Amino acid sequence: MWIIKRDLLLAIRRQSDVLTTLFFFVIVVSLFPLSVGPEMNMLRAMAPGVVWVAALLASMLSLNRMFSNDYIDGTLEQMLLSPQSLSLLVLGKAFAHWLVTGIPLVIMAPILGIQYDLPAEALLVLTITLLLGTPVLSLIGAIGAALTLGLRGGSVLVSLLVLPLYIPVLIFGAGAVEANMAGIGFDAHLSLLGAFLLASLALAPWATASSLRVSLE
């Protein structure tokens, strides 16, 4: 769809936005081994949680920009008045947001995981959970971004609104990696993550579209 193409084109013209998210993620994840010291067992135990929390915060950083630029220059008005379905447009924007902020995190995560001495299989599981989980972050985040559009202090509000909703993804994302390292199956965790993804694919675009209509009234 052309809206995905447009958002990617804008991201290429403004690379700094994309790079800040990625560097934030890399730095936060790297700070922990530096600060708690080279205790291998402890690092291994905390790795999944740290990587996941950093991913949540990093994807949160860029949420505000999802709609605010379009709001300021009037493109969002035109989207609301488009004969195409607003939910589909929102889905396209959330997908573009994920391609720009989620995918780089998924690619970086296994490299960063090496700092925590994670075994190869755990690295693979970590990548899979991020691959399933980060689209959920973009989709749920879109609702928060739409609700706080045009408000002063919107960026703080968006984290208060959205972070609680991220908790299930965080628990099962990090849980799958821990389960794998403990030698028990992680299929259930992955299935639940997949279920979150499907549910948010079905509901989030619609909720975001309604929030946008309210915000622009």
Partner 1 sequence: MLQGINLACVRGDRELFKDVSFSLETGSLMQVRGPNGSGKTSLLRMLCGLSSPAAGEIRWHGETIHPLNENYFSAMTYIGHLSGTKDDLTVIENLRISSALSGYEISENQASEALENLGLGGREQLSVKVLSQGQRRRVGLARLLTCKTSLWILDEPLVALDAMAVKFIQGLLERHLQQDGMVVMTTHQEIDIGAASIVQLQLA
Q: Which stretch binds partner 1 (CB under 8 A): 29-37, 70-78, 152-160, 168-176?
A: 70-78
| The two structure tokens encoding residue 215 | 């915000």
For residue 152, state whether it binds partner 1 (rule: CB under 8 A).
no
Radius of gyration of the chain measured on its C-alpha atoms: 18
Find the shortest distance in angstroms from Cβ 82 to partner 1: 5
Picking from 4, 128, 132, 145, the residue whose alpha carbon sits closest to that of residue 61 is 145
For residue 2, state whether it binds partner 1 (rule: CB under 8 A).
yes
The terminus-to-terminus CA distance of the chain in angstroms comes to 27
For residue 14, state whether it binds partner 1 (rule: CB under 8 A).
yes
Q: Which stretch binds partner 1 (CB under 8 A): 38-46, 79-87, 131-139, 145-153?
A: 79-87
The correct pick among 34, 37, 83, 164 for binding partner 1 (CB under 8 A) is 83
Find the shortest distance in angstroms from Cβ 71 to partner 1: 9
Q: Residue 4 burial by CB count (10 A; 0-12/13-18/19+): exposed, middle or buried? A: middle
Ranges of H-type helices in the chain: 2-13, 15-36, 40-61, 65-73, 75-80, 86-97, 103-113, 120-147, 154-181, 187-216
CA distance 195 to 149: 28
Instruction: Number of residues interacting with partner 1: please give it, by CB under 8 A.
Output: 23
Find the shortest distance in angstroms from Cβ 202 to partner 1: 20
Which one-letter amino acid corresponds to residue 158? V
For residue 75, state whether it binds partner 1 (rule: CB under 8 A).
yes
Residues that bind partner 1 (CB under 8 A): 2-3, 6, 9-10, 13-14, 69, 72-75, 77-85, 216-217
